[in-house]
Amino acid sequence: MDVVIRNANLADGQQGVDVAIENGRIAAVGPRLPLQAAQEIDAAGDLLSTPFVDAHFHMDATLSYGLPRVNASGTLLEGIALWGELKPHLTQQALIDRALQYCDWAVARGLLAIRTHVDVCDDRLLAVEALLEVKRLVAPYLDLQLVAFPQDGVLRAPNALINLKRAITMGVDVVGGIPHFERTMAEGAESVRILCEYAADQGLMVDMHCDESDDPMSRHIETLAYQSNRLGLHGRVTGSHLTSMHSMDNYYVSKLLPLIREAGVAAIANPLINITLQGRHDTYPKRRGMTRVPEMLAAGIPVAFGHDCVMDPWYSLGSGDMLEVAHMGLHVAQMTGQAAMRDCFRAVTSTPAAILGLQDYGVAPGCHADLVLLDAADPVEAIRLRAARRMVMRRGKIIAESPRAQARLSLPGRPEQVNFRLNR
């Protein structure tokens, strides 16, 4: 064996597990494996997890905060306007440099797969070319999946549909859309039909920004589910944001959720962004803004969490830490039950991995040896502490390490070291 990781806890609750790795894949999993290896790693009862997966991001805009100016209002619409101002001044190399820097941040935090939307409304397709190059450069250590995203509306923006198809021809993976940004509700619905038919014809997945609005009458997720059902796209379609669902009446949602489930449509919530951008027109009481995560999970709809933005025109914060995303999602959705908190951990690991269609993802024989060793005993503790990543492994090779988090005190009469781990 190349590597054996000893005495690890797994996210499914197994404890004291050994994981054997050979030729970049997991060869065996079990307690006290009677195997020798060139390298042995003592997990010491820490959580050995699959890598984090971000199912919704905008890498073409990341780390561009302050260009060409700061979003003074902090609103979604000013952010979109700022991005429009910045696009003419973008250069391919600047896009590549910022994206690569972010990918370094991501890998250090155990984030090894990202689905990123890339704006196709610029006729030059600079961002598409840049991120295709980034995808090639990071392939040895990070899976990057690109969505052709018509930021300004596929019908509203000149050449957007042509550019989207050009981007797919160039190698972009997924068909995107933003129906609520079209000029009318009817055009939004028409854009969903056009894009889903194109995806069905090309054999592609679909991921649409859908109903990122406080307007309860923004109901394009209904159309997206209908078209998925009509065209047989089950399991290949995702609705991202879905924030209008937070403002819809319960009777309508009681009909909507079964439709989404039957259509095989997945959902992606973006807790950090939607809790800050939504409800801006409210006084008090203020709407929370995020979609109905617990209700969708209860209905059998796969729900993942996305980071969405990091230091860009829409969001001045962020660090590429998916545990921070899970932590915010847990609080905003009031998912503090034991099972619900574990659902939040799955929302940044196994659920988005399934949505992206990642192959051989897991901690089981035959899976890729892509693993993260966290300074925590279980998923709940990992979220609570935003646990340090002791080790990040890709295909059986360690690509990032960090020390355990320890707090030391020098108070008279008190222990020198304080351990924030409660279940040791």
**pLDDT confidence of 317, banded at 50, 70, 90?**
very high
Contact 372, 342 (CB under 8 A): no
Q: Is the pLDDT of residue 126 over 70?
A: yes
The whole-angstrom separation of Cα 132 and Cα 13 is 38
Q: Which residues are designated catalytic?
A: 212
Model confidence at 300, pLDDT cuts 50, 70, 90, reads very high
pLDDT of 415 > 90? The answer is no
pLDDT (0 to 100) of residue 80? 83
> 289 with 244: CB under 8 angstroms?
no
Q: What is the mean pLDDT of residues 239-255?
A: 97
Gap between the Cα atoms of 111 and 3, Å rounded:
21
Q: Which amino acid is at 77?
A: L
What mean pLDDT comes out for the span 4-19? Answer: 97
For the segment 81-104, the average pLDDT, to the nearest whole number, is: 93
* Domain topology for 52-356: TIM Barrel (3.20.20)
Amino acid identity, position 68: P
Instruction: Give the model confidence (pLDDT) of 36-85 as tens digits.
Output: 999 999 999 999 999 999 999 999 999 999 999 999 888 878 888 898 89
Q: Contact, 57 vs 117, CB < 8 A? A: yes
pLDDT at residue number 422:
56
pLDDT at 75: 82
Q: How far is CA 169 from CA 138, 178, 204, 423, in A?
A: 21, 20, 12, 52
- pLDDT, one tens digit per residue, over 190-223 is 999 999 999 999 999 999 999 999 999 999 999 9
What pLDDT, on the 0 to 100 scale, is given for residue 412?
A: 75
**Helix H segments across 30-159?**
76-86, 92-108, 126-138
CA dist 420 → 14, 328, 382, 408 (Å) = 22, 20, 12, 11
Three-state DSSP state, 108? helix
pLDDT at 419: 62
Residue 305: strand pairing partners? 269
410 pLDDT band, cuts 50/70/90, is low
Confidence (pLDDT) at 158: 94
Nearest alpha carbon to residue 67 among 354, 316, 410: 316
Cα–Cα nearest to 375, from 114, 133, 46, 49: 46
For residue 374, is pLDDT > 70?
yes
CATH topology of domain 3-50+362-408: Urease, subunit C; domain 1 (2.30.40)
Determine the 3-state secondary structure of 229 from DSSP.
helix
Q: What percent of the chain has pLDDT over 70?
A: 96
pLDDT tens digits for 321-338? Answer: 999 999 999 999 999 999
The pLDDT value recorded for residue 424 is 43
Using the predicted structure, report yes or no on whether residue 421 has a pLDDT greater than 90: no
Share of the chain above pLDDT 90, in %: 88
The mean pLDDT value for 255-273 works out to 98
Map tokens 């009677």 to a residue. Answer: 34
Do domains 3-50+362-408 and 52-356 share one topology? The answer is no
Domain boundaries, the chain: 3-50+362-408, 52-356
Backbone angles phi, psi at 91, to 5 degrees: -120, 150
CA distance 334 to 138: 36
Determine the pLDDT at residue 77.
Answer: 80
Average predicted confidence (pLDDT) for the chain: 94
